[in-house]
Amino acid sequence: MLLTLARIAWWKLLTGSINDPAFAGRASERPIRGDVPPLSRVDASATAGNAIAMARTMAMYVRFVSKRGTVARFRASLGDRHHTSRSLCINRHKLRRKNQRSADWMNRVLRGIQPTSPVHSSLEKPAIGSCPRHHCQIDQHPTSRLLLACPDRPGLIAAVSGFLADAGLNIVDADQHSSREGRFFMRMAFEPAPAEERAELYERFATQIARPFEMEHRFAESSEPKRLAIMVSREDHCLSDLLWRWRSGELGADLACVVSNHPDHADQVASLGVPYHHVPIDGDDRKVAEQRTLELLGKVDLLILARYMQVLSSEFLQQLAAPAINIHHSFLPAFVGADPYARAHERGVKLIGATAHYVTKELDAGPIIDQDVTRVSHRDEIEDLMRIGRDIERLVLARAVKAHLDDRVLLDGPRTIVF
Q: Where are the beta strands (DSSP E) in 236-367?
A: 254-260, 276-278, 302-305, 324-329, 351-358
- In this structure, the strands spanning 144-151 and 183-190 are antiparallel
CB atoms closer than 10 angstroms to residue 240 = 16
Edge-first strand order for the sheet with 171-178 is 171-178, 183-190, 144-151, 216-221
Contacts of 26 (CB under 8 A, 6+ apart): 41, 103, 107
pTM (predicted TM-score): 0.66
Whether 43 is a known active-site residue: answer no
Tell me the C-alpha distance between 221 and 227, whole Å.
Answer: 13
Q: Which pLDDT tens digit goes with each residue over 209-257? A: 999 999 999 999 999 999 999 999 999 999 999 999 999 999 999 999 9
Question: Was domain 135-221 assigned CATH 3.30.160.270?
Answer: no
CB atoms closer than 10 angstroms to residue 90 = 17
Tell me the C-alpha distance between 249 and 243, whole Å.
Answer: 10
What is the Cβ-side half-sphere exposure of residue 49, based on CA atoms within 13 angstroms?
5
Same fold, 135-221 and 227-418: no
Contacts of 56 (CB under 8 A, 6+ apart): 5, 6, 9, 34
Q: What is the pLDDT of residue 60?
A: 45
Q: What is the pLDDT of residue 171?
A: 95
Q: What is the pLDDT of residue 241?
A: 96
Locate the domains of the chain by residue range: 2-123, 135-221, 227-418
Tell me the C-alpha distance between 405 and 323, whole Å.
Answer: 11
Q: How would CATH label the architecture of 227-418?
A: 3-Layer(aba) Sandwich (3.40)
Secondary structure of residue 187 in the 3-state scheme = strand
Q: What is the pLDDT of residue 26?
A: 42
Which of 102, 97, 96, 100 minimizes the C-alpha distance to 115?
A: 102
Q: What is the pLDDT of residue 94?
A: 54
Q: Which pLDDT tens digit goes with each residue over 341-379? A: 787 888 888 888 899 999 998 888 899 999 999 999 999
43, 80, 364, 372: the catalytic one is: 364
Task: State which residues of the chain have pLDDT below 70.
Answer: 1-140, 331-338
First to last CA, the chain: 53
Contacts of 286 (CB under 8 A, 6+ apart): 313
Contact 188, 160 (CB under 8 A): yes
CB atoms closer than 10 angstroms to residue 320 = 19
Tell me the C-alpha distance between 389 and 373, whole Å.
Answer: 9
Tell me the C-alpha distance between 34 and 217, whole Å.
Answer: 56
Tell me the C-alpha distance between 303 and 247, whole Å.
Answer: 17
